Copies of this chain bind each other. A is one copy, B any other.
Amino acid sequence: MFTKGNLIILSGPSGTGKGTVCKKLLINNKNVFYSISATTRLPRPGERNGREYWFLSKKDFEKMIKGNKLLEWAKVYDNYYGTPLDKVNELREQGRDVLLEIDTQGALSVMKKAADGVFIFLLPPSLRELEKRIRGRGTETQEIIRKRLDAAVGEISLGTKYHYLVVNKNVTEAVNQISAIITAEHCRTDRNLGIIDKVKNEEI
């Protein structure tokens, strides 16, 4: 029986490894599609419309904001970034799961607009480990590291608003857990009421 695809939101503080987990998840789950963001920033050399981003004019983006056609959006410096609702729905109607990898602020917006979304919060195994990962990038000053860790502590409290918590101690294990969540969510009764009617009303 045909069932609509699910919207899967993967979020968590920066430094927990969302990007790495997402990439592996997409390789392992051929029915999961990555949601491509829209932006008003100019394409960089080699970037293609509809692959890295949907590149929009400022005017078009603001029209989408006014028309409530974005699942979430943010303005970073002078540019807009956001998730076009139509593109997500199109894939879901085709039975495909759509994966959204966003920061905790964006996830809060999506919670208000997509009540049937599957919200997964990716946690670092410990703050000490998170500190190591941020430090490992080698680009941050002591002050910025401290600031980002404080921000992470605040964001971790938001984890209670999500359906699932996954600890990213080991990428393979985290990906397996998220894959299991994706499979399990397809079996949830509220997403499958049609099956009961179908079997029950069969003529024999």
A residues with a Cβ closer than 8 A to B are 120-121, 123-128, 131, 149, 153, 156-157, 159-160, 162-167, 176-177, 179-181, 183-189, 192-193, 195-196, 199-200, 202, 204
Contacts and interface: CB of A to CB of B under 8 A. Distances in A.
Q: Main SS of the interface on chain A?
A: helix
A14 to B, nearest CB: 15
19 contacts: A123-B195, A126-B199, A127-B199, A127-B200, A127-B204, A153-B200, A159-B189, A160-B189, A164-B187, A164-B188, A165-B189, A165-B195, A165-B196, A180-B180, A180-B183, A181-B184, A181-B187, A183-B184, A184-B184
A127 B198 CA distance: 10
A162 B189 contact: yes
A153 to B, nearest CB: 6
B204 A128 contact: yes
B192 A165 contact: yes
A144 to B, nearest CB: 15
A135 to B, nearest CB: 12
Contacts of A202: 126-128
A184 B164 CA distance: 8
Contacts of A188: 163-165
Contacts of A184: 164, 177, 180-181, 183-185
